[in-house]
């Protein structure tokens, strides 16, 4: 099992959903980065369950630093953080340890780990592990903000309801950083939450589309071919459970454009080169061009639903019907937002470190 991502700045994840703790190790991080515990707590809170549109499972998600931090600053040695699991209910999983939940990793984990995997709550495959990603990402996100680089994500579409487009990027990103339900239009937010609650009442779930913007990121970062900014971000974002698609800039809409519509004309603003449009999402040839990095991520409906589903019992080798118990989210898209922000920060910080060395 490989659990490490990154080149110059690496992140390793560990732990299981119902184990004693989850956590992360960050290696290659520069010394002297301030550990802002209030900022980290604020980001962790954005990932927590929210009202009737989330799981009833409540965790304090207090981040503890085991190594790599001294007197409130990073030391430059590997930084290890843990988050204890305090509210587990494993009994729901014991009787279905050999029942494959549709669209979960139960069956593939059994194929790969031959029955030795921790099946409780999805074990190491669980979205619970993203709490450690958020904590790790918050450390570098704060450091990037000190350098004028900001990341923001909103729910672009959920239940057929659209949020407004980004307008003033700096103001919108800062506003989203304080919103538990990351939708910029209040009327759209109310409609989305109502729609999610209605789906939850039916025992079902929904997904949606997240849209991310990054401002202040320098030009000239990324590599051609295999380590392009798109490929590295895609690699990181696809590690998030429930992500099933990503597109940059105009994305699949390019298929309906002509070159005269798709190209982003260059021009000067003072001494700075900018593009008139941003169809390419701030990236040309796999390298940042100084414009905002923009992409959209597809989040599939939460696979844990309370409707009867056809599946298999892979121990007794027979077909069966799954009737789920336990605590599950009818939608995770609002909680996934900060995970996307965190992974984006980790990927971009890695690219910056590879390009410039110690940058924070």
pLDDT of residue 88: 61
Mean pLDDT over 286-304 rounds to 97
Mean pLDDT over 279-288 rounds to 98
Is residue 90 scored above 60 in pLDDT? no
pLDDT digits (tens, 9 = 90+) for 151-185: 999 999 999 999 999 999 999 999 999 999 999 99
Is residue 321 scored above 80 in pLDDT? yes
Task: Work out the percent of the chain whose per-residue pLDDT is above 70.
Answer: 96
pLDDT of residue 89: 63
Is residue 327 scored above 70 in pLDDT? no
pLDDT of residue 253: 98
Pair 68, 26: CB distance under 8 Å: yes
Nearest residue to 324 (alpha-carbon basis) of 305, 350, 337, 344: 305
Nearest residue to 182 (alpha-carbon basis) of 207, 221, 146, 212: 212
pLDDT digits (tens, 9 = 90+) for 185-222: 999 999 999 999 999 999 999 999 999 999 999 999 99
- Structural domain range at position 138: 4-356
Round the average pLDDT of the chain to a whole number and report it.
93
Mean pLDDT over 68-76 rounds to 97
pLDDT of residue 96: 73
Q: Which stretch of 126-130, 186-190, 274-278 has the lowest confidence by average pLDDT?
A: 126-130
CATH number, domain at 96? 3.60.150.10
- Report the C-alpha gap between 46 and 44 in whole angstroms: 5
- Report the C-alpha gap between 154 and 178 in whole angstroms: 12
Ranges of H-type helices in 206-308: 229-237, 259-262
Q: HSE-up of 353 (CA within 13 Å, CB side)?
A: 21
Tally of domains within the chain: 1
Mean pLDDT over 76-91 rounds to 84
pLDDT of residue 138: 98
pLDDT of residue 42: 97
pLDDT of residue 93: 62
pLDDT of residue 50: 77
Q: Which two tokens stand for residue 238?
A: 């696809």
């Amino acid at each position: 099992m490989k659990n490490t991502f990154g080149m110059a700045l690496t992140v390793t994840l560990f732990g299981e959903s119902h184990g004693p703790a989850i956590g992360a190790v960050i290696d290659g991080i520069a010394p002297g980065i301030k550990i802002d515990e209030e900022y980290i707590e604020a980001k962790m809170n954005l990932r927590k369950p929210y009202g009737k549109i989330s799981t009833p499972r409540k965790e304090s998600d207090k981040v503890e630093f085991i190594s790599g931090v001294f007197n409130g600053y990073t030391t430059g040695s590997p930084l290890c953080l843990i988050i204890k699991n305090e509210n587990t209910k494993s009994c729901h999983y014991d009787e279905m340890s050999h029942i494959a939940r549709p669209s979960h990793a139960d069956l593939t984990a059994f194929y790969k780990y031959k029955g030795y995997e921790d099946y409780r709550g999805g074990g190491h495959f669980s979205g619970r592990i993203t709490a450690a990603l958020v904590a790790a990402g918050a450390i570098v996100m704060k450091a990037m903000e000190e350098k004028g680089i900001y990341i923001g994500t909103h729910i672009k579409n959920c239940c057929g309801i659209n949020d407004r487009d980004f307008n003033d990027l700096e103001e919108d990103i800062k506003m989203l950083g304080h919103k538990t339900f990351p939708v910029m239009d209040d009327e759209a937010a109310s409609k989305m939450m109502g729609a999610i609650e209605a789906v939850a009442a039916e025992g079902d779930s929904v997904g949606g589309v997240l849209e991310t913007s990054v401002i202040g990121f320098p030009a000239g970062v990324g590599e051609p071919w295999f380590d392009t900014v798109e490929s590295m971000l895609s690699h990181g974002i696809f590690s998030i459970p429930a992500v099933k698609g990503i597109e940059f800039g105009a994305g699949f809409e390019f298929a309906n454009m002509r070159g005269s519509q798709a190209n982003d004309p260059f021009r000067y603003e003072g001494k700075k080169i900018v593009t008139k449009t941003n169809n390419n999402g701030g990236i040309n040839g796999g390298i940042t061009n100084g414009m905002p990095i923009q992409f959209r991520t597809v989040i599939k409906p939460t696979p844990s639903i309370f409707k009867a589903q056809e599946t298999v019992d892979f121990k007794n080798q027979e077909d069966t019907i799954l009737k789920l118990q336990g605590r599950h989210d009818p939608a995770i898209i609002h909680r996934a937002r900060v995970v996307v922000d965190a992974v984006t920060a980790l990927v971009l910080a890695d690219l910056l470190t590879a390009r410039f060395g110690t940058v924070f």
